[in-house]
Homo-oligomer: A and B are copies of this chain.
Amino acid sequence: MDHLEWLACFASDLKRGDIAAAAAGFHETSYWRDLVAFTWNIVTFESRSAIADMLEARLSDVRPGSFEPEGSDGWFTFATSVGRGRGHVRLKDGKCHTLFTALMSLDGFEETSGPTRESGVEHGAIRGRRAWGDRRAADAAELGVTRQPFVLVVGGGQGGIGLGARLKRIGVSALIIDRLPRPGDAWRRRYKSLCLHDPVWYDHLPYLPFPDHWPIYTPKDKMGDWLEAYTKIMELDYWPDTACVRAAWDEQREEWTVEVERAGQPHILRPKHIVLATGMSGFPEIPRIPGAERFAGAQHHSSQHAGGEGWQGKRCVVVGSNNSAHDIAADLWEHGADVTMIQRSPTLVARAETLARFRTLYSEEAVKAGITTDHADLTVASLPYALLPAATRPTVEQIKRDDAAFYARLEAAGFKLTHGDDESGIGPMYIRRGSGYYIDVGASELVASGEIKLCSGAEVARLTEQAVVLTDGREIAADLVVYATGYGSMNQWAAALISQEVADKVGKCWGLGSQTAKDPGPWEGELRNMWKPTAQDGLWFHGGNLAQSRHYSRYLALQLKARLEGLPTPVYGRGPVHHRE
């Protein structure tokens, strides 16, 4: 049975409501990943029986139909009782090994584009008409003041902005707030040498791709300017210089009461939904180090580090060995500082060029082959997380062979390498813990050559007035300590902005439960709490890298739109709330 035949059978089984027959088309161990289409959730079912259970619960409501193959490589389209979807099937010995279904649009609420775009002007003579500029200005002045947004997006980085564009296009009134004065400032404020570590093909925002001369690795200020322009072009309602002070869920009104401080003035917002798009890298994690208060030099978290300027000839200690640690150490070195990196645990290092070579779906070759960004996103999403390590391991092996000399030099310098607990490389590591790696854009050579001094296999024990003291007794004189020690769970934002109670109710964000480092079990098989309903009504989390933010913002926007329009949205397959970090 090929997948065209399989799809026809499956469609027919579903149409007849014959769940046993439909389930029989799956292997006992098989995977169905659904993005909102069948479950109003983002969830993967990992066995025939789990799939059958879901169909029992959902089939009569979803009423899937109109299955049509798209080409011959497993892709198809389908319809549900509320919208249109795309899907993908992979067979093994004639039975389904993986199935992927994703809701793409809601009937009657499709985005306007191309032939359905707006006119922009009502031709004719109309007394009392308002010009676009006046209307836009009035909209902007009213929203959040005399008219409440349906959605409040807290955080105006690339995540919040891209989601804002999706919501605008789909007709959901949304207000984005951000603490900083201008869209893009979260990038502008970082250390000068920062560039995106992912290549341009991976980084497009929704709807408006970078033009084709855009550099491969976008410099951070250029990214900031792009985001600012994008915000304007997409007509987003964006309040800069606005901090979220606290938010409380009103059970009676089923809405949030959100205290914000806008340009220093207190203001109350009452949205039905809050999306925390404050970023995975939004909540700095600084270890409590004995003696830190006595240290006479400067010390700050990597997110506060402005760059190497001014540190020439100074002794700088960077605690940590992931992306920011390496970037900051290299930048300090470039500015003539004496730099020591404290590596606390083994680190995954992969050269940027090497990674780009293996990311074929997002590349110039993909563009040439007509693979759109949307299609690449769907292709990536079609593989269940459970199967990702097996898929990436051969690439890791290849990378280790290709860059063997590079890795040997690093190890010779005392650098502790890992390629993931199960040798599955950077992709799974990112999904599991969002940290633990360095995409090498130059610093590794400095580490290998000893230009950046390395202390590995020890933790920081304490600070003295003048030095960092390690657990193995080593003492490193320091004028500056940078804590490139990462970020907390997005869950902490819920605690800080809402309450510990709500944060506990919602549980941990991110991570699959793979029981590898920093990703405690039990296995969930999806990113916890990301882009899908949480245990707190009206509270959502949005984030991830540019590609994830771009792709999953679609499903988050559809879920919010459905709620705005009052469609029933029974959530199936909620994961258990998880508390361990």
Closest B-chain residue to A118, C-beta based?
A: B215
Q: Are A211 and B212 in contact (CB under 8 A)?
A: no
Q: Which of B115, B120, B225 contacts A195 (CB 8 A)?
A: B120
Q: Which of A113, A222, A364, A445 has the most CB of B within 10 A?
A: A222
Q: Which residues of B contact A211 (CB under 8 A)?
A: 207-208, 233
Q: Which residues of B contact A126 (CB under 8 A)?
A: 334, 442
Interface residue total, chain A, C-beta cutoff 8 A:
67
Does A202 interact with chain B (Cβ within 8 Å)? no
Q: Which of B120, B125, B214 contacts A333 (CB 8 A)?
A: B125
Q: Which residues of B contact A136 (CB under 8 A)?
A: 221-222
Q: Which of B119, B216, B441 contacts A217 (CB 8 A)?
A: B119
Known contacts: A121-B441, A215-B117. The answer to whether A334 contacts B233 by CB under 8 A is no
Q: Are B216 and A117 in contact (CB under 8 A)?
A: yes
A179 to B133, CA, bound (A): 22
Q: Which residues of B contact A580 (CB under 8 A)?
A: none
**Considering the complex, which residues of chain A in the window 143-201 have a beta carbon less than 8 Å from any beta carbon of chain B?**
169, 188, 192-193, 195-196, 200
Does A134 interact with chain B (Cβ within 8 Å)? yes
Q: Which of A129, A188, A218, A330 has the most CB of B within 10 A?
A: A129
Does A285 interact with chain B (Cβ within 8 Å)? no
A195 to B111, CA, bound (A): 23
Q: Which residues of B contact A16 (CB under 8 A)?
A: none
Known contacts: A229-B232, A334-B129. The answer to whether A124 contacts B216 by CB under 8 A is no
Does A376 interact with chain B (Cβ within 8 Å)? no
Q: Which of B118, B192, B196 contacts A131 (CB 8 A)?
A: B192
A225 to B228, CA, bound (A): 12
A368 to B442, CA, bound (A): 44
A200 to B121, CA, bound (A): 12
A212 to B446, CA, bound (A): 46
Contact with B along A91-128 (1 / 0, CB 8 A): 00000000000000000000111110111110111111
Known contacts: A215-B118, A233-B211. The answer to whether A446 contacts B125 by CB under 8 A is yes
Known contacts: A221-B132, A221-B136. The answer to whether A213 contacts B113 by CB under 8 A is yes
Does A248 interact with chain B (Cβ within 8 Å)? no
Q: List 19 A-B contacts (CB under 8 A).
A: A112-B213, A117-B213, A117-B216, A119-B217, A120-B195, A120-B214, A120-B215, A120-B222, A121-B195, A123-B217, A123-B441, A124-B445, A125-B443, A125-B445, A127-B335, A129-B334, A131-B220, A131-B307, A229-B232
